[in-house]
Amino acid sequence: GSGSHTLATLTITTKTNWDQLDALIKKCFKDHLIRVDSSLALGITVDSLACYRVGAEKILRNFYPINHHHKPNFPELLPFGYLVNENHINLQFKTTIDSLAFDTLTPKSVLNEFISMLIENRRLIFSGPSGTGKTYLAHKLAEYMAIKQMDSSSMAIYSRTVPNINGANSAPPTGAITTFNVDHKNSKELRAYLTNIAEQCQLEVALTPLPTVIILDNLHHSIDSLEDIFNDLDKITIMKSPYIIGTINQSVHHHQTMPMLQRHNFYWIMLSVDSEAVRGYLNRFLRRKLLETESRLSMSPRLFTSCPIDLNGSQAWFTDLWNYSILPFIIENLREHVRQNGGKLKGKSTTAIHSFIDPTDWIVANYPWSSNSEWSDHLNRLRPEDVEDDKQQLPSNSINQASMISNSRPQSSSNNYHSTDNNQSN
């Protein structure tokens, strides 16, 4: 996942009250879960939601008030009043593990198992074929553990990648998450880095801030040197050690590598296409991708059902569809947007933005009829004068507000687990 996912588009009128919006959002979220995770493998339900925030002012609305003995306070305005300039509604989960499961589309039970292993031993290896999500899960778990650490220490969270560290006396880089990309040539640098970490951990007060989590990616590139690389880790007591998460591709050496890593107190997790962490992921990912696309649709599918199945006929059909239906629809919506923003679009004059808002450029660049690409010259283009505020041609102002409802890796009610939402409006 991206950390921010669009769930659906809701229609909210000037009369929609907060209780009605609560019910709309719960139904929307439930419908989304049924379509993405029909088997309920993720372990997430509507009851996993804690609250939501509305519009640019981020008005907070709790689903379940902390004190049930008191009537919840309602915002001054109805929901529509906060959705005029910013039409996003951001959902937040009760716990960080619910948020992590929803973001990664990985069952909560699986994530809890991985997290328990990390807490117990602080060392974890993901092994498996290429493309099974080892690096992705390593980074997501690292973010989770760093955030949990931040909650208890108030340290800032940031990450850095260590491509190379020269010399055994080099100071380890600081940051909540440090990633070391292992290759065929930097085994010595990796050992020097871990030796320095081990020495720092043995001090009463570390000379430099130590990372909360260390990610060792692609350890299979140094498969013959791992015994030496991890030798100094045995000097660190478990409670003083940073969390260490490694990834290693499946290979014929695993029958030798796994016992060696276990001697160094690493838990070994095999990610195969049949493992619970991977099984069903692609289905959930593709369904969510489809739903995100559907939520941005504003044109009827009926427009496209008349497409001929022959090559030349479909090209002529699309040209007419673009010139007489799609482009006029875009122009009409742009004019409305310009009028509502005082003659400007995204803060710029219409003439200043023409060069990069013309959607015809994208159509031409992705033209599927490549054997007859000159036909694209028949496509009409968006001109600056097309989006000028011609009030006589504008539709009347609608009283309905289409609001995007999204999940932006929400913060839990007890943990500051959040990310910035950069979604665009419909």
Residues 37 and 150 in one domain: no
> For the chain, how many structural domains are there in total?
3
Say if 423 falls within a structural domain.
no
Say if 426 falls within a structural domain.
no
Distance CA 247, CA 138 (A): 8
Residues 54 and 179 in one domain: no
Say if 417 falls within a structural domain.
no
Residues 147 and 258 in one domain: yes
Cβ atoms of residues 89 and 405 within 8 Å: yes
Q: Count other Cβ atoms within 10 Å, centred on residue 264.
A: 16
Cβ atoms of residues 156 and 176 within 8 Å: yes
Backbone phi, then psi, for 73, in 5-degree steps?
Answer: -80, 135
Residues 89 and 205 in one domain: no
Distances, alpha carbon 348 to alpha carbons 120, 274, 293, 344, 359, in Å: 55, 52, 27, 5, 17
| CATH number (domain holding residue 250) | 3.40.50.300
- For residue 189, give the 3-state DSSP assignment: helix
Residues 64 and 114 in one domain: no
Show pLDDT as tens, one digit a residue, over the chain (426 residues): 346 888 888 888 999 999 999 999 999 999 999 999 988 999 999 999 999 999 888 888 988 755 556 566 678 899 999 888 788 899 999 999 999 999 999 999 999 999 999 999 999 999 998 889 999 999 999 999 988 877 655 444 444 554 443 333 334 344 589 999 988 888 889 889 888 888 888 887 767 778 889 999 998 888 888 888 888 888 888 788 899 999 998 765 666 788 888 888 889 999 988 899 999 999 999 999 988 887 777 777 788 889 998 888 999 999 999 999 999 988 888 887 777 666 555 545 544 444 457 888 888 888 888 766 677 788 999 887 787 655 444 333 334 556 666 775 544 433 333 333 333 333
The type of residue at 107 is P
Give residue 232's domain range: 108-275
Residues 130 and 244 in one domain: yes
Nearest to 394 by CA among 345, 349, 331: 331
Distance CA 154, CA 281 (A): 34
Residues 310 and 374 in one domain: yes
Q: For the stretch 83-93, what's the b/e string if a residue is b when 16 or more beta carbons lie within 10 angstroms of its beta carbon?
A: beeebbbbbbb
Residues 68 and 115 in one domain: no
Nearest to 52 by CA among 11, 93, 81, 83: 93
Two tokens, residue 275: 């493992």
0.85 exceeded by pTM:
no
Residues 147 and 226 in one domain: yes
Distance CA 396, CA 331 (A): 15
Residues 87 and 143 in one domain: no
Distance CA 102, CA 108 (A): 9
Residues 21 and 126 in one domain: no
